[in-house]
Each structure stands twice: as structure tokens, then as C-alpha cells.
Amino acid sequence: MSKFIVLVISSFTALIVLSGCNGIDSKPAPQKVTVVKQTIIQKASAKDIAKVIRDERLMQVSNMPEKEFVVYGEGIAPMDTISPAQATALAKRAAVIDAYRQLGEKLFGIRVNAKETVKDAALKDSRIVTQVNGLVKNANVTENSYKDGLYTVRMELKMSGARWKEIFSY
């Protein structure tokens, strides 16, 4: 029986040696490449964007003329005031607000909603509502006058061409 065990062990050893199996793989194992996607978020202010536009000359702002808007606002003095000074002050305030409204209409446009009611083939009710939303800054009153209870102001807004493009180029 010992010859049988020696024969099996030697056969097994010969088989391993002749097959070339040494337990080490001759080809290196392929390595997995992992791609990591990163998103970088960078915030930029309006000043930074304007500077890049000027520096890179993406817009021709040097040749743009200055924009000027002129409106005339009117305000009426109310009848139930305590004094003429109060009537004048209230009329002036109404005229300035009217001028700002007109500038807002010119710069940002106006929203108009209308509704009409017809009954028995006749117009019963007609309502028109207008609305202006916008921010008007740096407007100046250049002239004003008060005559016969009507206060009139001349308001103008001057804006550089670069500022105009920055705000309204959309």
C-alpha cells in the first residue's frame, strides 16, 4: 500500500509540474478605473459679470450713446385742504408720482386687464385695469410749475449705454 501512496503522490506532483500551474497568473488583473464627476458651483456678482463683458469686449459698450427719458407728471390740488401750502404740497407729490409711473411705463411696459359686461345686447359695464411694476432709480425733477391748482413737473432719467444693456438686454 505504501507503493500505491508513493505512486499517487509522485503522479500528482508530476501532473502539477508538467501542467505549468504555479498558482501565479501570468497576466495582471485588469484594474477598475473609477471616474468621479464633480460639479463646481461658482457664484458671480453682477459687477463681476459686467467686468468680464467689458474686459472681453463681448458687447460693444464704448460706442453706445447715453439714453435719456423725459416725462411730464401732473397733479391736481385737492379741494378739502387746510391751507394753500398743503394743497400745493399734495399736488406736487401727485405730479412726482405720476412722473415716476410714466417712467415705469416707458422702461418696463404696462400690464392691461380689461373686462366688459354685456346685457340685452348693450354694454352694461366696462372696466380697464392697468398695472406697472418696476424700479425707477436716479430720476431727477428738472422743472416744476404750479398754476390754477395744477402742479406740473418735468422728470428725466439719464442712463449710460452700458447700464442700459446691463439692465435691459434679455
Q: Is residue 26 part of a domain?
A: no
Residue 65: per-residue pLDDT: 77
Contact 21, 13 (CB under 8 A): no
Residue 107: per-residue pLDDT: 86
Q: Is residue 71 part of a domain?
A: yes
59/61 Cα distance (integer angstroms) = 6
Residue 1: per-residue pLDDT: 60
Domain of residue 119 covers 67-168
Residue 90: per-residue pLDDT: 93
| Type and span of the H or E element at 33 | none
Q: Is residue 61 part of a domain?
A: no
Domain count, the chain: 1
Residues 16, 22, 28, 30: what is their CA dihedral angle, to the nearest 10 degrees?
A: 50
Q: Is residue 117 part of a domain?
A: yes
Q: Is residue 163 part of a domain?
A: yes
Residue 29: per-residue pLDDT: 65
Q: Is residue 106 part of a domain?
A: yes
Residue 61: per-residue pLDDT: 47
User: What are the cell numbers at 71?
Assistant: 416725462
- Averaged pLDDT in 10-residue chunks for the chain of 170 residues: 67 65 60 71 74 63 74 92 91 95 89 90 88 89 91 92 72
User: What are the cell numbers at 6?
Assistant: 508513493
- How far apart are the two ends of the chain, measured CA to CA in Å? 98
